[in-house]
Every structure is written in structure tokens, then in C-alpha cells.
Amino acid sequence: MVEQLKRDFANLCNNSEKITPTIHLNMQEVKTNGKKLLYIEVPESEEVRIAFFNNTR
């Protein structure tokens, strides 16, 4: 499940129809309390103008 989430998120970040400009984010898998978390640090940026999710603003 986590591996699929990583792939889906990476594909989203590299899709110029969804996020402009495309971005590269580091993902880290973390285990806490017996659960896996996907930690993604998103730096502040003025370059990303509009992010689309499911083709909506």
C-alpha cells in the first residue's frame, strides 16, 4: 500500500497537467505505533501557481 502511494504521489508531482511547475519531493517511510506513515516535506515556493487535484481547483 505505501509503495503504491509513493508511486501515485510521484506521478502526480511529475504531471504538468496537475501541478505547475512539476516538483520533486523526498518521501520517507516512517513507522510509529505499529503503523506506517509517509512523510513528505513540502518546501514553501512561489513558483507553484495552481495545484489541481482530481481536475478541480
11 grid coordinates: 506521478
Backbone angles phi, psi at 25, to 5 degrees: -120, 140
Instruction: Label residue 44 exposed, middle or buried (CB < 10 Å: 0-12, 13-18, 19+).
Output: exposed
Identity of residue 56: T
Backbone angles phi, psi at 6, to 5 degrees: -60, -45
Q: Please answer whether residues 53 and 47 qualify as being in contact, where contact means their C-beta atoms are separated by less than 8 angstroms.
A: no
Q: Please answer whether residues 53 and 18 qualify as being in contact, where contact means their C-beta atoms are separated by less than 8 angstroms.
A: yes
In the chain, where the domains are located: 2-51
Per residue in 5-39, pLDDT tens? 889 988 888 888 877 777 888 899 999 999 988 99
pLDDT at position 35: 92
